[in-house]
Structure 1
């Protein structure tokens, strides 16, 4: 992944993870695997865990510790009302940004 893509992802990764959690509760590794399945293959697992700590601190998720057969309990993250509101704001902002960017000249459009 190029530097430009990495920089763009930094600003959007929280919204992407909240979108995954809007589909179903998940723990860190499940979120990382889901991101990889959706083409975000270069995101390090550590990046996701740091982001999960941030969204937990911001109280955007509920966290349950679920027993694991392979070690310590897993932290399962569930989007809460504040997280859903944040996700709505993310998509609203994203759509506004895309609309503005689409109005700029693109080299690929023959400019």
Structure 2
């Protein structure tokens, strides 16, 4: 989908935010119209936009090539990571984890 407004127009809006900070800015009449539409009929607007995005932004004729994700590889040996990329739940040998016991008062 092509941009609706030129980069210069968006840059002017950003420059205006530097001068007069606001939480949110809407660029152009299409943006203001969409904002009004969302305020008047939020449910219908959400459904229509969901259909439009589904039709115009996703390609149905091509699928992405399958590849093995890096997080699914395992390192051999001790300290190997799980498929989710986290260390195993067992404590490492050699006492590298800090002790949770309280010191004995003297």
TM-score of the two chains, using structure 1 as the length reference: 0.28
TM-score of the two chains, using structure 2 as the length reference: 0.29
Q: Which has the higher contact order (CA 8 A, sep 6+)?
A: 1
- Structure with bigger strand share is 1
Over alpha carbons, which structure has the higher Rg? 2
